[in-house]
Amino acid sequence: MRPRALIDLLSHCRSHAINLGHQKIEESDLLEGETAYSTDLLKDVSLELQDIFPGGEDALFGFIEASSLLDGEQLRSCLARTGIEKEQWGELVDLLLWYGVLGILRKSGDQTYIYDVHYEMRKLKALVKTRDTEDLIYTINRAFWRGLDIEHAGVT
């Protein structure tokens, strides 16, 4: 999402390699580094949610072991697991879109997140509205997959 994110990810990978005495960063270090980075990102966004959305600090854990692609029913199932009142789900989804946790699957098959529309929330919400409810597919950002044990639904 940001250049700093790549630096943080590589730092986790390097730290894992150093801790195991590896001379070079190996594939296992990359995987463990990705897990550590994803977990840190999960913590950071949870803290942000705690500050601006009362009761939202554990909301991301409603997505544990979810599919990387979510239709409306699957999204509602995840939201129900958050413990947040149904009346607040729309606000939570907007926040998850803003923080780049959720994106949408475009008609082209491309995934679009807030950073793909230059942090223009109105544009992202307009893209959501262009889809019929039954055709709208939300995507979970790959950066959160390892931290939330997301099931990869044919998305790379």
Give how many domains the chain has, as a whole number: 2
28 within domain boundaries = yes
Contact 43, 72 (CB under 8 A): no
Q: Are residues 93 and 142 in the same domain?
A: yes
126 occurs within a structural domain: yes
Give the mean pLDDT of 21-28: 84
- Check: CB of residue 145 under 8 Å from CB of residue 65: no
- Claim to verify: residue 98 and residue 126 sit in the same structural domain: yes
Range of the domain at 24: 3-39
Q: What's the whole-model pTM score?
A: 0.85
Together in a domain, 30 and 82: no
Residue 100 located in a structural domain? yes
Mean pLDDT of 47-55: 93
What's residue 1's pLDDT?
A: 59
Q: Which residue from 138, 116, 145, 156 is spatially nearest to 37, judged by alpha carbons? A: 145
Residue 8 falls inside a structural domain: yes
Domain assignment of residue 48, yes or no = no
